[in-house]
Structure 1
């Protein structure tokens, strides 16, 4: 296990993405519980990728949740529903990932559903040119059959995960435990980053 300053780690990830051929799109997942702040790592990847000449589109899986009538059918604090039913996997695949496959159109919908007000965003599609990168952050992304060229998992020990999860969200902890047990993200991801200490992330080899 090697610790990395965050700037060095992000630079290494950007270089790894840039190894993909320029005539193809690259789909990158940054997966992890919110306590690990995967969205921050995903955001930090944008600038170095653009410096390498790669167009980048940021997408948040949290903008592809199912409507509340489906998502919260079993209540607001059901960990199994959170694990199985919150993410609209089909929509994320249809609107973001499939358009960037080998024969895709390159037309990506950056956000679908605003879960705060339970209403569609109604945003226009964006054109990502070949060689462009879509960086998707979210939780419980692996093991869903979603197509990514590179998957990064931000891992926290059980103690750190519990300590850094807000009290009002601790009902989700059994879902994260199930994810560890069933998906084994440390084995499923291409890159695993241990984030028990946010200022000193470690690359797990």
Structure 2
């Protein structure tokens, strides 16, 4: 990734500016539901930013649905087929992309009914969550957050990548999860999320983010 000029900002101001930008977003495929990615390693906490943006949208009178990719992981028998600490499996095979297409993106395609399943599988209990479907009205926004999202061909209308330097990622990732770090190195090398995302947020200092807005 080449040099990108980033400006210091607060999380509150960032959420407000992103919400304002999303209000004017019109999906290219004619869907009435804009679909936004908040991509980042767990240590970067992209879900926190997604929730802040959702709160800012609510104040502006726009509904949104925050969905975490961790609710769409494959069952442990498939996820852990090559062991509990295999970084290639984490990169390639933990996310049930088919379920996300079926239960989240499909209902938000042009002509869809907006009936979205917010989560499917609990990776802790390794059981179906049995959550009820949620109806997202036309004009409502999908805010999907999780790691490694930009390596998939999901139909996002805007993508946000929350970036941590390699050092910050290592420091802020629990030692028990350090085995995942090679997967993020591979993601950086193969996908270059900081370059392909529409919005880049650097969060090395969790109190003082910077962005390329």
Same fold (TM over 0.5): yes
Separation (CA, whole Å) in 2 of partners of 1:186 and 1:102:
29
Report the TM-score when normalising by structure 1: 0.97
Cross-structure match for 1:110: 118
The match for 1:134 among 139, 142, 149 is 142
Separation (CA, whole Å) in 2 of partners of 1:98 and 1:185:
24
Cross-structure match for 1:159: 167
Indicate yes or no: 2:180 matched with 1:172. Answer: yes
| Alignment of structure 1 residues 31-180 onto 2, 5 Å | 31-180=39-188
Q: Provide, for residues 92-147 of structure 1, a one-character-per-residue CA deviation record: whole Å limited to 9, x for no partner.
A: 11111121122211110011001100000112211111000111110000021111
Deviation above 6 Å: which 4+ runs of structure 1?
none
The match for 2:7 among 2, 6, 16 is 2
**TM-fit CA distance, 1:203:** 0.4
Q: Provide, for residues 65-118 of structure 1, a one-character-per-residue CA deviation record: whole Å limited to 9, x for no partner.
A: 000000000011000000001000111111111211222111100110011000
Task: Please provide the CA RMSD for this pair.
Answer: 1.3
Question: Is the 8 Å Cα contact of residues 153 and 192 (structure 1) preserved in structure 2?
Answer: yes
What SS does the aligned partner of 2:151 have?
coil
Cross-structure match for 1:20: 25
Q: Provide, for residues 146-177 of structure 1, a one-character-per-residue CA deviation record: whole Å limited to 9, x for no partner.
A: 11111100001111111111100000000000
Separation (CA, whole Å) in 1 of partners of 2:102 and 2:189:
28
Figure out how many residues of one structure are paired with residues of the other and give that number. Answer: 205
Separation (CA, whole Å) in 1 of partners of 2:11 and 2:135:
30
| Runs of 5+ unmatched residues, structure 1 | none
**TM-fit CA distance, 1:54:** 1.0
Question: Is the 8 Å Cα contact of residues 21 and 131 (structure 1) preserved in structure 2?
Answer: no
Moved more, 97-106 or 153-162: 97-106
**TM-fit CA distance, 1:20:** 2.0
Report the TM-score when normalising by structure 2: 0.93
Moved more, 12-21 or 74-83: 12-21
